[in-house]
Amino acid sequence: MTTKIIICGAHGRMGQLLVRCAKEDAELEIIGVMGSGDDLSALIENTDVVVDFTTAAATLSIAKIAATHRKALVIGTTGHTDAQRSELIEAIRGIPVVLSSNFSMGVNILFHVTRQVAELFQDSDVEISETHHTHKKDAPSGTAKSLARIVEEIRGGKVPVHSHRIGDVVGDHTVSFATPDEKLELTHHALDRATFARGALRAAKWVVGKGAGLYDMQDVLGLKRSATSG
């Protein structure tokens, strides 16, 4: 059985990769590719799942259409304000949704390991730094915010995040733990955006048929231990 999919933001950097990777996947059938002027409601009845890699401003209306038609949703878009995120979470209550700031396997392992190190290395200072390409609209990255949230849930307080925008860097994240005597660094380098696309498509196949609820990539990959990370 194939999973029927609509890709929103299909002409963007991520969207083009999602279309390419979905075409290569025999378990997926593309029902629609949506750009900013297209009408999602015209095609949505024919799909199992909608994938959103658009802009922070566009996600809510896409989510409302998915919720009205009771379709599963995967949200990769980042940069939502707290108010946008709350409105979004309210809108998707009745459907299964995977929301993740980062769909790569390596970053989700980084989320998992960061939680463990934050628990073990309690006396250390923590800082996060991230570097991305100059076209990225949001700063800090959604992934850096997720990493900060993981450490803050364990330690309290605020974790400083440093953002750099240079060249065509796909995405680098480092979490540094330091005492006056030693430093432990956890670093992930995304080498190809296809890692996010393949992860999002894996999430799309996973989420169809799940009960209504908000899931993240830790659920998809079976890495979940306690609180949400992503």
Ligand X SMILES: NC(=O)c1ccc[n+]([C@@H]2O[C@H](COP(=O)([O-])OP(=O)(O)OC[C@H]3O[C@@H](n4cnc5c(N)ncnc54)[C@H](OP(=O)(O)O)[C@@H]3O)[C@@H](O)[C@H]2O)c1
User: Which chain residues interact with ligand X by CB under 6 A?
Assistant: 8-9, 11-15, 34-36, 53-55, 58, 76-79, 100-103, 138, 196
Q: Choose between 30 and 178: whose C-beta lies nearer to ligand X.
A: 30
Beta-bridge partner residues of 60: none
Residue type at 228?
T
Q: Choose between 21 and 177: whose C-beta lies nearer to ligand X.
A: 21
Q: Choose between 118 and 197: whose C-beta lies nearer to ligand X.
A: 197
3-state secondary structure of 175: strand
Q: State the nearest-atom distance from the C-beta of 107 to ligand X, in Å.
A: 8
- The full length of the chain comes to 230
- Is residue 132 annotated as part of the catalytic site, yes or no? yes
Q: Which of 71, 80, 132, 205 is an active site residue?
A: 132
Q: Choose between 14 and 175: whose C-beta lies nearer to ligand X.
A: 14
172, 130 Cβ separation under 8 angstroms: yes
Cis-peptide, bond into residue 140, ω within 30° of zero: yes
Q: Choose between 56 and 178: whose C-beta lies nearer to ligand X.
A: 56
101, 196 Cβ separation under 8 angstroms: no
- State how far the Cα of 175 lies from the Cα of 207, in Å rounded to an integer: 30
The phi, psi pair for 166, rounded to 5°, reads: -155, 140
Q: State the nearest-atom distance from the C-beta of 183 to ligand X, in Å.
A: 28
Residue nearest to ligand X (CB): 12
One DSSP character per residue, 41-61 reads GGTGGG-SEEEE-S-TTTHHH
Pairing of strands 49-52, 3-8: parallel
| Residues 31-55: b if buried by 16+ CB within 10 A, e if exposed | bbbbeeeeebeeebeebbbbbbbbb
Q: State the nearest-atom distance from the C-beta of 181 to ligand X, in Å.
A: 36
Q: State the nearest-atom distance from the C-beta of 7 to ligand X, in Å.
A: 9
Q: State the nearest-atom distance from the C-beta of 26 to ligand X, in Å.
A: 23
Q: Which of 64, 112, 136, 210 is an active site residue?
A: 136
Q: Annotated catalytic sites, by residue?
A: 132, 136
